[in-house]
Structure 1
Amino acid sequence: MPNPYHYGSPVTGDQFTGRHHEVNTLVERMRDGINVVVVSPRRYGKTSLLRRAAEIVERDGGAVVSVSAMGLADARSLAGQLLRQTYRLDGGRWHRAKQAVPTFLSRLRVKPTVTFNGDQPSFSFAATLSSGELDDIVADVYAVLAEVAPRKPSVLIVDEFQDVLDLGPHLPGLFKSLADRHPTVSLVLAGSKQHVMQQLTLESTGPLYGMTSRLALAPIPPEEMGDFLVRRATAGQKRLSVTLADRIVELAGPVPNDIQYLAYEVYNTAGRTITASDVETGMRLAVEHEADFDAWRFAALAPGQRRVLRRLAEAPTATPYADDFRDAVQARSPGALRNSLTRLLQADLATMVDGTYRVTSPFFAAWLRSHV
């Protein structure tokens, strides 16, 4: 049987578990034209949540334009995404056919280059696309959604929104002004760089302050993840006890992606019945497969950052500025410790879960404990 666990990319269908409250909350706000900011650490299932909510809204007849700003090279990449997603909307004044493209283009102030794969168009722009032209494209897409909104829920989703700052620091303000101009369209902004999203949305000087409701993703409860692992193992025709499922969650949690990664390795190791030895072997393999990358990441850190990360792997703490922690990492001053910790958090090597600082990856933490 194929391995029933999936990691490394967003999940759908049977691979999606938990988040019932978050899905319902997000869908309700999308339907009601409420703006939402979704914030979570990386690999918590944010993108999977957005896709599930969008699927529900679209299944019920809603119009959803969903794009991701993650790692975009330039403005034309975002512009092309926006137009591809807008063209596929049901309910626009055009049909998704080759002969209808001119009708669609008539809605746009900035004309793209159009190529076809069969009857399906693709939209692209020259490398010289200006910041002002991108603004016009975003505004035109918003206008299309606003036109549809009186007949059906209309939603614009921008995942990894913090990355739009690389395309222009004025863009959050543009989205704010468009949201004010078109209050019937639900704007959903999601990001995994929590400190940046907080600056944009929570600080009184932020360009998005006060315009949205906030949805922060917490870890999926361990018992839910354990039940999910058992169900998936059964679907793969192997037996996994609740006790060992809980052990997998304990070793790899709380990030769903990490839990599925360990479960994947365990499943590949095991026979028809998964044993405690299989779980330990799976953990060893998961650490070994990441070892070269972990060694490179660790070597690239400054000495003070290495000491902090190694200490967090040994003993996660809620009080990193206490004397015992400072002594253990040989910090010259509270400021030097704060600087090291901030750099580790920004690099996603360390994180804070339920008020406790820890190494983000459980496999990196295990490597640090065994190799450093």
Structure 2
Amino acid sequence: MKNPFRITTLRPDDPFCDRERELETLVRHGLNGASVTLFSPRRYGKTSLILRAQSRIAGQGGYIIYADLYRVMSVEDLAGRLAKAVYEGLNRHEPLLEKGKRMVMRFFQTYRPTFTPTPDGGVQLDVRPVAGLSGYDLLENLLAEVGRFSEECGRPVHIALDEFQDIVAIDKGRTEALLRGQMQTHRAAYLFAGSRRRILRAMFADDGRPFYNSSFSMELPPLPHDALTAYVRDRFADAGRRISEQSAARVSELVEQYPYYAQMLGYFLFDGPPSPDLEDVGRAFNLMLDNERYAYQGIIDGLTSVQQALLIGLAREPGAKPTSKAFLSANGLTAGGVQKAVNLLRNQDYVAETDKGLILVDPVFREWLLRFF
């Protein structure tokens, strides 16, 4: 029996755990032409939710465009990714090799689509910019074309920009201002999503920034415990297997309702005994920790000794005040370096301020730190 738990982005037709309220809100805003900023930690099901919402918008006649801006490197890179996303979205609606070509020729001139046959008999779509234009001109022209398309196409247009906060690394605000200057005139609904929440929030909450107060805000909470417990049981049942409510609830508790880890723990658990008990859940959790160790070691290796000590200290003492004498002494830190380390770890979304104080965002990473340090 195929494992029913997926550790990659969920497809729109895959079983989904809860998020119905968030899904309905995103679809409603999208069809109404209203923009949304979506915050969540890494691997929290954000992209799966976006694709599911866009699938529903498309089902109601809308055009959908999805662009992943993770680690975007330059304004030329940004313009090229947006252009490819536009053409891929239009191609899904009406193939560009057929009737859709007329629509492209009418609205879009800055980039041209190219098609390359693939070994499996399909066609790979790419884009090529017109000659003689700089990166900023390419981006500005493309956005103007998107604006005209959204104005004249006669349908809702929904554009999702995933990991949107990464545009801040391109320059000192020129790209941000250019995007806002164009997008505010569009009839499209934009979904600005990101997992580096502090940076993304600042883009929309700082009154000195171009995107200040320009969208609705939505932050994904942990999955509801009862819904996640039922989801785990349902996936086992769909595959003709049984898991007790107690064992399924333990899955939810161990990962603290974190969507990615719930799928991964379920994956390892499903590959074990046919009717897993609590001990089996614990063994599967250990397998998951072992599987993730390379990613966690990569995080640690990329930090300074002060940042490492701060993370380990917060893993041992969630909610601690890092500048307190007791915390500094217990972790071999000094007040001078801690605040800088806190700011960097916040910007990377490794730690976050909550009503319980400063904590690690990733509960499984926290457990790994406790076990190995």
TM-score higher than 0.5 here? yes
Alpha-carbon shift at residue 233 of structure 1 (Å): 1.4
Q: Which runs of 5+ in 2 are unaligned?
A: none
1:177 and 2:181 correspond: yes
3-state SS of 1:206 partner: coil
- Is contact 1:5–1:15 with CA below 8 Å preserved after alignment? no
Distance 1:166 1:140 in 2: 25
**Which residue number in structure 2 is paired with residue 15 of structure 1?**
15
Equivalent pairs: percent with the same residue? 23
Alpha-carbon shift at residue 322 of structure 1 (Å): 3.9
Alpha-carbon shift at residue 72 of structure 1 (Å): 3.3
**Which residue number in structure 1 is paired with residue 168 of structure 2?**
165
3-state SS of 2:257 partner: coil
- Is contact 1:290–1:363 with CA below 8 Å preserved after alignment? no
Alpha-carbon shift at residue 163 of structure 1 (Å): 2.0
- Is contact 2:310–2:322 with CA below 8 Å preserved after alignment? no
Letter aligned with residue 47 of structure 1: T
**Which residue number in structure 2 is paired with residue 44 of structure 1?**
44
> Would the alpha carbon gap of residues 280 and 215 (structure 1) be closer, same or farther in structure 2, given more than 3 Å must change?
same
- Written as runs of structure 1 = structure 2, the 5 A alignment for 1:117-132 is 117=117, 122-125=125-128, 130-132=135-137
Instruction: Summarize deviations over 1:235-294 as a string: whole Å, max 9, x none.
Output: 12221112111211111123200121112112212x221111111111111112223443
> Would the alpha carbon gap of residues 318 and 85 (structure 1) be closer, same or farther in structure 2, given more than 3 Å must change?
farther
Is 276-285 or 158-167 further displaced after alignment? 158-167
Alpha-carbon shift at residue 14 of structure 1 (Å): 3.4
Distance 2:219 2:99 in 1: 44
Instruction: Summarize deviations over 1:125-152 as a string: whole Å, max 9, x none.
Output: 259852211221122123212212xx33
Structure 2 residue corresponding to 1:139, chosen from 119, 144, 155? 144
Instruction: Summarize deviations over 1:13-51 as a string: whole Å, max 9, x none.
Output: 333211111111111111111121111111111111111
3-state SS of 1:122 partner: strand
Distance 1:305 1:121 in 2: 43
Letter aligned with residue 332 of structure 2: Q
**Which residue number in structure 2 is paired with residue 345 of structure 1?**
346
Distance 1:353 1:338 in 2: 17
**Which residue number in structure 1 is paired with residue 29 of structure 2?**
29
Alpha-carbon shift at residue 340 of structure 1 (Å): 1.9
Alpha-carbon shift at residue 358 of structure 1 (Å): 3.0
Distance 1:345 1:6 in 2: 29
Letter aligned with residue 306 of structure 2: G
- Written as runs of structure 1 = structure 2, the 5 A alignment for 1:348-367 is 348-352=349-353, 355-367=356-368
- Is contact 1:31–1:153 with CA below 8 Å preserved after alignment? yes
3-state SS of 1:214 partner: strand
Distance 1:253 1:11 in 2: 23
Distance 2:362 2:10 in 1: 18
Distance 2:371 2:299 in 1: 16
Is 28-37 or 162-171 further displaced after alignment? 162-171
Q: How many residues align?
A: 364
**Which residue number in structure 2 is paired with residue 88 of structure 1?**
91
- Written as runs of structure 1 = structure 2, the 5 A alignment for 1:47-126 is 47-73=47-73, 74-75=77-78, 77-88=80-91, 90=93, 96-98=96-98, 101=101, 104-112=104-112, 114-117=114-117, 122-125=125-128
TM (norm. structure 2) is 0.87
Distance 1:214 1:133 in 2: 29
**Which residue number in structure 1 is paired with residue 371 of structure 2?**
370
> Would the alpha carbon gap of residues 111 and 256 (structure 1) be closer, same or farther in structure 2, given more than 3 Å must change?
closer
TM (norm. structure 1) is 0.87
Instruction: Summarize deviations over 1:47-91 as a string: whole Å, max 9, x none.
Output: 11111111111101112222121133524531442332353264x
- Is contact 1:37–1:188 with CA below 8 Å preserved after alignment? yes
- Is contact 1:76–1:129 with CA below 8 Å preserved after alignment? no
Is 320-329 or 229-238 further displaced after alignment? 320-329
Letter aligned with residue 315 of structure 2: A
- Is contact 1:98–1:121 with CA below 8 Å preserved after alignment? no
Distance 1:361 1:44 in 2: 10
Alpha-carbon shift at residue 111 of structure 1 (Å): 4.1
> Would the alpha carbon gap of residues 113 and 274 (structure 1) be closer, same or farther in structure 2, given more than 3 Å must change?
closer
1:198 and 2:201 correspond: yes
1:327 and 2:329 correspond: yes
Structure 1 residue corresponding to 2:219, chosen from 216, 233, 250? 216
Alpha-carbon shift at residue 98 of structure 1 (Å): 4.1
Instruction: Summarize deviations over 1:94-116 as a string: whole Å, max 9, x none.
Output: 87434763652342342436335
- Is contact 1:69–1:161 with CA below 8 Å preserved after alignment? yes
Two-structure CA RMSD over aligned residues (Å): 2.7
Distance 1:89 1:4 in 2: 27
Q: Which runs of 5+ in 1 are unaligned?
A: none
